[in-house]
Amino acid sequence: MKEIMPETAKYEPHTVYIRPSKGLSSLNLSDLWIYRELIYFMVWRDIKVKYKQTLLGMAWAVIQPVMTMLVFTFLFDKVAKLPTDNIPYPIFSFTALLPWGLFVTALNQGSRSLVAHNNMVTKIYFPRLILPMSSVFAGLVDFAIAFVILVGLMIYYRFVPAWSLVWTLPLFLLLAIITALGVALWLSAINVQYRDVNQALPFLTQFWLFATPVAYSASVISAKWQILYSLNPMAGVVNGFRWALLGTGNGPDITLWVSVGISILIFISGLFYFRSMERTFADTI
Amino acid sequence: MTIAISVKNIGKQYKIGAAETKFRYNMLRDVIVDTVTAPVRIAKALIGKSDHRTNQNYVWALKDVSFDLEEGKVLGIVGKNGAGKSTLLKILSRVTEPTVGTVSVRGRVGSLLEVGTGFHPELSGRENIYMNGAILGMRRAEIDSKFDEIVDFSEVGQFIDTPVKRYSSGMYLRLAFAVAAHLEPEILVVDEVLAVGDAEFQKKCLGKMNDVAQQGRTVLFVSHNMSAILRLTQEAIVLQKGQMIMRAPTQEAVDYYLSSGQSQAGEKFWSAEDVSVANAEFTPISLKVKERSGKVVDTIRSTEPVMLEFEYQLNTSITGLRVGLYISTMRGEYIFTSFDTDDASLYEKFDTRSAGRYVSRVEIPADIFNEGRYMVGVNASSFGVKRYFMDENALAFNVDISGAPGTQWGEPRVGPVRPRLNWKIEKIDN
């Protein structure tokens, strides 16, 4: 009996064409897929290296939001006595500090990622999108650690959230990530050419904090300004977190959809801007 | 044969210095000013008064370079600093885009442009191997399977779990090279990595490169080390000022490259820029190759003596000065060295040379050189005190062997010297 030999699968290398790209270059997401392991390694490295040679190590991921919460509690609850929709202020502010912390870390690390890794950018090829992306994802670990603290706080205050948070919270988390990534794409690409971004970041972060209902409740904004207010996508994220975890506010309404729209707009435009600038990164960085 | 790399008319333009363009400063402020004045500039450009693209502040680092490279071939790239070698490799490895032209590359390109990219000092050797491997485009399974081999190759064995910031620079480089060397791309791009580590490790690296070439991979190899180029490649291209001026068998390309910067006329004159300010005592003027009649020549006959004349100016009196010549082959192997005060009586007579203009002249007897091209280097120094001037590649000359011993057979003879020796043939038995 003749056995049929399986034909040896011959590996056929694919051909890459290198030419000057014109106009809006394609997103080339297939390359991103090929290099997916690099995203994993970059995130893993960022996490691993972040707290190396520190005395307190991972505890910093707890100390930072907790200290901010304590300061906020003193200033805005004890001194200013801001209304919190009848929620204990520590939980009220911590719920907002979670996504805010994620956003700020992602914004700062992501925007500086290309310049910080300029030796990689000028020496080897890989999809540059990986750098801001992995900076943003690395922030998720700090988020997860801080989330444990929130659970602790809720137990302490005997606060029982609605079950719906199982699916609503991930969606708002996704919105926070998309917003952070969108802004980081814009700023990291601009930063390659104009280091002004480095100077502007601390100011931008501070300004953005005041424009977002982290320390105060969004309900203090009068109704006619709500739509304008929601142009800040982080307002939608923070309100969403409070709604999902604490049940405050109206839940998804027109202001949320405005925030979502703006967020997606920033993300998509950031993606295209990044890609169109990508070809000059190695030359201008 | 399949073409692995096909380069078609690629060019890369860079801006240099203070160009009058909107990229002049990396400051937002200037862009704002620039944006305001944009209509004027656009109008000017439209009527053809100024086109910043053709502005002289742009320079072509690479221009009109085209070549095809078949799969499994090893191609050397030689050229001076700034000739465009690195730019070419950067385009091929997709780090930067060409300004014009296209390249098609069949298969994965691994580059050894810069080993250790992405190494993090806080991570251990083990962690950096994975990290660096991923950056170079290796999959995790691939790294797993080669891990032991990489560690062996790098010789860092017992320190593999130590953060690399504690490594010596040699260990660091060896580990970095080991990862890159175990990447198995279809096309390997190597740039000047052989300067890494000690002699033994270098030998290992060259061996590894040889293996890669033997496995039928396509290799592009850039180096200033001509003997490495000659050993590893059969064919080479010569880049000069961004243009490809030659593609030839390596020996020919290397000979051309080594002599291309030199005068073809058998004489060389130095100008003020060639002399460093620190050595103001000594000013070289000229070096000439002359045949017996006194005529300056580029090609000498092996069967006739040749005169080398080095003219120079001393701006102050110098004690213990010796002016000398190095003669070497184009591959950089020295044939001999000789100084003007080698003779003890001359050494005493010229113990101190007063300021003034001098010529040191030497006659190299007939029947010394074999056929080929040779390099003359000059050196002026006081032994153990100071080197006033040195130019290792001052000028090159050709040697014509007509009439030299053994030419009746018309076959090339190995070795750079072709002495006329007195053979005796005796019959000692029947």
Q: Exposure pattern of B128-150 as b/e (b: 16+ CB <10 Å)? A: bbbbbbbbbbbeeebbeebbeeb
- Nearest by Cα to B341 from B379, B305, B395: B379
* Residue the block writes with tokens 């490809």: B244
Question: DSSP assignment of A7-49, as one string?
Answer: PP----PPEEEE----SS----HHHHHHTHHHHHHHHHHHHHH
Residues of A in contact with B118 (CB under 8 A): 117, 119-120, 124
Q: Exposure pattern of B314-343 as b/e (b: 16+ CB <10 Å)? A: beeebebbbbbbbbbbbbeeebeeebbbee
pLDDT tier for residue B50 given thresholds of 50, 70 and 90: very low
Q: How far apart (Å, rounded) are the C-alpha atoms in residues B217 and B363?
A: 50
Q: Quickly count: other Cβ atoms within 10 Å of residue A281's Cβ.
A: 23
CB contact under 8 A, A124 and B135: yes
Residue of B nearest to A32 (CA): B137
Q: How far apart (Å, rounded) are the C-alpha atoms in residues A144 and A164?
A: 19
Selected residue of B10, B92, B119, B135 to mutate for chain A interface (largest A Cβ count, 10 A): B135
| Tokens linked to B430 | 């029947």
Give contacts of B 16-35 with A, CB under 8 A.
23, 26-28, 31
Residues of A in contact with B27 (CB under 8 A): 194, 196
pLDDT value at B241 more than 60: yes
Closest CB to A20 among B94, B99, B123? B99
H-assigned helices in A117-164 = 118-123, 130-156
C-alpha distance from A74 to closest chain B C-alpha (Å): 38
pLDDT tier for residue B327 given thresholds of 50, 70 and 90: very high
The pLDDT tens digits for A2-36 are 444 444 344 566 777 777 766 555 667 777 888 88
Q: How far apart (Å, rounded) are the C-alpha atoms in residues A11 and B23?
A: 45
Contact residues of A toward B, CB < 8 A: 13-21, 34-35, 37-38, 40-41, 45, 48-49, 52-53, 117, 119-126, 193-196, 279, 282-284
Judging by beta carbons within 10 Å of its beta carbon (0-12, 13-18, 19+), is residue B64 exposed, middle or buried? middle
CB contact under 8 A, B105 and A18: yes
Residue of B nearest to A19 (CA): B102
Q: How far apart (Å, rounded) are the C-alpha atoms in residues B233 and B73?
A: 8
Selected residue of A36, A45, A279 to mutate for chain B interface (largest B Cβ count, 10 A): A45
Q: Quickly count: other Cβ atoms within 10 Å of residue B399's Cβ.
A: 20
pLDDT value at B413 more than 70: yes
* Residue the block writes with tokens 């032209």: B101
| Stretch (H or E) spanning B36 | helix B28-36
Q: What angle do helix axes B125-135 and B140-154 make, rounded to 10 degrees?
A: 130
| Tokens linked to B217 | 């991979």
CA-to-CA dists, residue B358 to B91, B316, B350, B354, angstroms: 50, 12, 12, 10
Closest CB to B131 among A21, A41, A193? A41
Tell me, yes or no, if B136 comes closer than 8 A to chain A by beta carbon.
yes
* Strands B299-301, B386-400: pairing kind: parallel
Q: How far apart (Å, rounded) are the C-alpha atoms in residues A46 and A141?
A: 10
Question: DSSP assignment of B96-149, as one string?
Answer: S--SEEEEEEES-EEEESSTTTT--TTSBHHHHHHHHHHHTT--HHHHHHHHHH
Q: Residue B283 corresponds to which amino acid?
A: T
Q: Quickly count: other Cβ atoms within 10 Å of residue B415's Cβ.
A: 9
ipTM of this predicted structure: 0.77
pLDDT value at B412 more than 90: no
Question: In this structure, are residues A197 and A190 in contact, taking their beta carbons and an 8 Å threshold?
Answer: yes
Residue of B nearest to A54 (CA): B122
- Nearest by Cα to B10 from B87, B111, B110: B87
Q: How far apart (Å, rounded) are the C-alpha atoms in residues B351 and B425?
A: 48
Q: Quickly count: other Cβ atoms within 10 Å of residue B414's Cβ.
A: 5
- Dmax over CA atoms of chain B, in Å, equals 104
Mean pLDDT for chain A? 84
Mean pLDDT for chain B? 81
Rounded mean pLDDT, B216-234: 78
Tell me what pLDDT residue B27 has. Answer: 62
- Residue B52 is classified by DSSP as T
Closest CB to B98 among A20, A117, A119? A20
Phi (first) and psi of residue B408, to 5 degrees: -60, -20
Closest CB to B96 among A37, A195, A282? A282
Question: DSSP assignment of B262-310, as one string?
Answer: S-SSSEEE--GGGS-GGGTTEEEEEEEEE-TTS-B-SEEETTS-EEEEE
- Dmax over CA atoms of chain A, in Å, equals 92
- Nearest by Cα to A206 from A66, A68, A85, A95: A68
Q: How far apart (Å, rounded) are the C-alpha atoms in residues B193 and A35?
A: 25
- Listed as own residue / partner, the contacts of A9-17 with beta carbons closer than 8 Å and 24 or more positions apart are A13/B106, A13/B107, A13/B108, A13/B186, A14/B106, A14/B107, A15/B104, A15/B105, A15/B106, A15/B107, A16/B94, A16/B104, A16/B105, A16/B106, A16/B109, A17/B102, A17/B103, A17/B104, A17/B105
Rounded mean pLDDT, B41-47: 57
Q: How far apart (Å, rounded) are the C-alpha atoms in residues A260 and A179?
A: 9
Tell me what pLDDT residue B137 has. Answer: 79
C-alpha distance from A224 to closest chain B C-alpha (Å): 34
List, in sequence order, every residue forming a beta bridge with B11; answer none if it has no partner: B100
Residue of A nearest to B99 (CA): A20
Tell me what pLDDT residue B264 has. Answer: 54
Tell me, yes or no, if B98 comes closer than 8 A to chain A by beta carbon.
yes
pLDDT value at A261 more than 90: yes
Work out the angle at residue A172's Cα, subtended by the Cα atoms of residues A166 and A177, and round it to the nearest 5 degrees: 125
Report CA torsion sign: B18, B22, B26, B32: positive
pLDDT value at B17 more than 60: no
The pLDDT tens digits for A44-62 are 888 888 887 788 878 888 8
Report CA torsion sign: A59, A60, A62, A63: positive
pLDDT value at B4 more than 80: yes
- Nearest by Cα to A142 from A208, A205, A59: A59
Question: In this structure, are residues B368 and B417 in contact, taking their beta carbons and an 8 Å threshold?
Answer: yes
CB contact under 8 A, B140 and A37: yes
Which residues lie closer than 8 Å to A116 by C-beta, 6 or more apart?
none
Phi (first) and psi of residue B68, to 5 degrees: -115, 145
Residues of B in contact with A21 (CB under 8 A): 97
| Tokens linked to A77 | 């609850």
CA-to-CA dists, residue B189 to A17, B115, B134, B249, angstroms: 17, 12, 17, 19
Q: How far apart (Å, rounded) are the C-alpha atoms in residues A118 and A125?
A: 12
CB contact under 8 A, A195 and B106: no
pLDDT tier for residue B260 given thresholds of 50, 70 and 90: low
Tell me what pLDDT residue B322 has. Answer: 92
* Residue the block writes with tokens 């040379």: B353
Selected residue of B28, B104, B192 to mutate for chain A interface (largest A Cβ count, 10 A): B28
Selected residue of A12, A17, A19 to mutate for chain B interface (largest B Cβ count, 10 A): A19
Residues of A in contact with B165 (CB under 8 A): none
Share of chain B above pLDDT 90, in %: 20
Q: How far apart (Å, rounded) are the C-alpha atoms in residues B244 and B65?
A: 6
Q: Quickly count: other Cβ atoms within 10 Å of residue A193's Cβ.
A: 17
CB contact under 8 A, B96 and A194: no
Tell me what pLDDT residue A26 has. Answer: 63
3-state secondary structure (DSSP) of residue B53? coil
Tell me, yes or no, if B11 comes closer than 8 A to chain A by beta carbon.
no
| Tokens linked to B405 | 């011993």
Rounded mean pLDDT, B319-324: 91
Tell me what pLDDT residue B26 has. Answer: 56
CB contact under 8 A, B97 and A19: yes
CB contact under 8 A, B98 and A122: no
The pLDDT tens digits for B86-130 are 889 888 888 888 888 989 988 888 776 566 777 888 888 998 898
Please list the helix, strand and coil fractions of chain B in percent, rounded to the nearest 5, in that order: 30, 35, 40
Tell me what pLDDT residue B289 has. Answer: 92
pLDDT tier for residue A220 given thresholds of 50, 70 and 90: confident
C-alpha distance from A40 to closest chain B C-alpha (Å): 9
Closest CB to A282 among B27, B95, B186? B95
